[in-house]
Amino acid sequence: MSETPETPTAPASGSERAIRATELDAADPLAVVRERFVLDDTVYLDGNSLGALPRTVPGRIADVVAREWGELRIRSWTESGWWTAPERIGDKIAPLIGAGPGRVVVGDSTSVNIFKAVVGGVRMAGKGCTEILVDATTFPTDGYIARSAARMTGLAVRPVEPARIADEVTERTAVALVNHVDYRTGRLNDLPSITTALHSAGALAIWDLCHSAGALPVGLDAHGVDLAVGCTYKYLNGGPGSPAYLYVREGLQERFESPLPGWNSHADPFAMDPGYAPADGIVRGRVGTPDILSLLALEAALEVWEGVSMDDVRAKSLALTDFFLECVDAHVPPGRVRSVTPADHRQRGSQVALQCPGAGEVMDELIRRGVVGDFRHPDVLRFGFTPLYTSFRDAERAARVLGEVLGAQPDAVAPGTAG
């Protein structure tokens, strides 16, 4: 909102929050990381859908296109390290999700990796197993793909709320496919305890990390997760539709049988052997020729993590979402929105979801006013907080503009100037 000479002094609370935001930004150990991204005056709270552009990417991609493809051409498969990019970049993602080297491979979409993980998991499960549990609140593609995997392996799918999995798992459960953070509400599911409960019943745990990787510590190795998948275009900032990844626990790799055994997963791909023999290790999670432009954009994007501690990321994420909720309380008239994101830190990811009548139109207006979140059917405003580049001032401004859009009489607008 424009301030005019007639504008009276804003109430102390609004000013104080703006001052607090500035102070919090000044004390933020991650504030310097923001400079590693291309940002503008927009408050960008949609990094949980598409991360902002890291400054490392444009120059790297220009070189990949002009020199590696344009000049070296076919030689780049060896000389520019293209062939080994899926596992090399997997090893760069690994520390961000608590995985040792040789456990993560990058390539294909999240949906394709879910298929590999679920079918691969079912094939490693006990012979008497008859069902696949799927997070009842899952992002839809996980459920669609799990049903296809079930159809093709002769099992049934049973949807279960994450909080009920420990009670519902039985000796007939082959695997459970669970979202680490709920895409809609931002609820963080309890990965360690759910994984333990699954193991106690003899089932494998498959986690979808799309909304947690890069936003909070995951600890795949430490918690004994069996298989995991995730995208790289949200908190990992890999670019639109950048390739997803597959994690297979070290002790399971030898038994992992991919349902998509493309030639890149062969023990000796250039032998052109008509008989299939899987490669050792995580390479057997590869399928076809890797998508080099997108892979190498992702590799460049991962440079923003240099020197970043995931504990700092988590601390800032919680501080940002706390502060945003406080500002929403202050700016938005009572009863206009309701947070569906858990207040308990132990159950919160890195987004805030507000139920709001007419959420679609409200988000359109927010975007017109320079605050970009997104709308999720039917009535949710989603605001993602990427600790690497979101500031406390961003959080304060977003809440203030939301209050304006929802028709609060803005603190600082004089009579006669429209809100």
Residue 8 CB, nearest approach to a copy of itself (Å): 36
Query: Is 7 one of the binding residues for a copy of itself (CB under 8 A)?
Result: no
Q: Considering beta carbons, is residue 14 or 387 the nearer one to a copy of itself?
A: 387
Contact 341, 322 (CB under 8 A): no
How big is the CA angle at 91 (ends 387 and 388), to the nearest 5 degrees?
10
Q: Which is nearer to a copy of itself, 72 or 252 (CB)?
A: 72
Is 175 within 8 Å of 131 (Cβ atoms)? no
- Under the criterion CB under 8 A, does residue 293 sit at the interface with a copy of itself? yes
DSSP letter for 7, please: P
Q: Is 230 a residue that touches a copy of itself (CB under 8 A)?
A: no
Pick the binder of a copy of itself from 251, 334, 346, 377 (CB under 8 A). 377
Segment interacting with a copy of itself (CB under 8 A) among 186-194, 211-219, 268-276, 328-336: 268-276
202 binds a copy of itself (CB under 8 A): no
**Is 233 known to sit in a ligand binding site?**
yes
DSSP state of 65: I
**Separation CA 345–CA 352 (nearest Å):** 12
By CB under 8 A, residue 289 contacts a copy of itself: yes
Indicate which single residue of 2, 9, 26, 71 sits in contact with a copy of itself (rule: CB under 8 A). Answer: 71
Is 276 near a copy of itself (CB under 8 A)? yes
Largest CA distance in the chain: 81
Q: State which of positions 147-166 bind a copy of itself (CB under 8 A).
A: 147-148, 152-153, 159
Applying CB under 8 A, among 290, 349, 403, 410 the residue interacting with a copy of itself is: 290
Q: In whole angstroms, how close is the CB of 99 to a copy of itself at the nearest point?
A: 22
- Chosen residue from 14, 28, 36, 82 binding a copy of itself by CB under 8 A: 82
386 is in an annotated binding site: no
Distance, CA of 87 to CA of 73 (rounded, Å): 21
Of 269 and 281, CB closest to a copy of itself? 269
Q: Count residues binding a copy of itself (CB under 8 A).
A: 84
Structure tokens at 258: 């991919």
Among 99, 139, 169, 173, binds a copy of itself (CB under 8 A): 139
Which range, of 6-14, 168-176, 186-194, 241-249, touches a copy of itself by CB under 8 A?
A: 241-249
Member of 9, 26, 40, 346 binding a copy of itself (CB under 8 A): 40
> Least CB distance from residue 183 to a copy of itself, whole Å?
8
Give yes or no for residue 352 binding a copy of itself (CB under 8 A). Answer: no
Binding flags for a copy of itself, 322-351, as an x/- string (CB under 8 A)? ------------------------------
Q: How far is the CB of 278 from a copy of itself (least distance, A)?
A: 10
Q: Which residues are annotated as a binding site for pyridoxal 5'-phosphate?
A: 110-111, 139-142, 208, 211, 233, 263, 289
Residues at the annotated binding site?
110-111, 139-142, 208, 211, 233, 263, 289
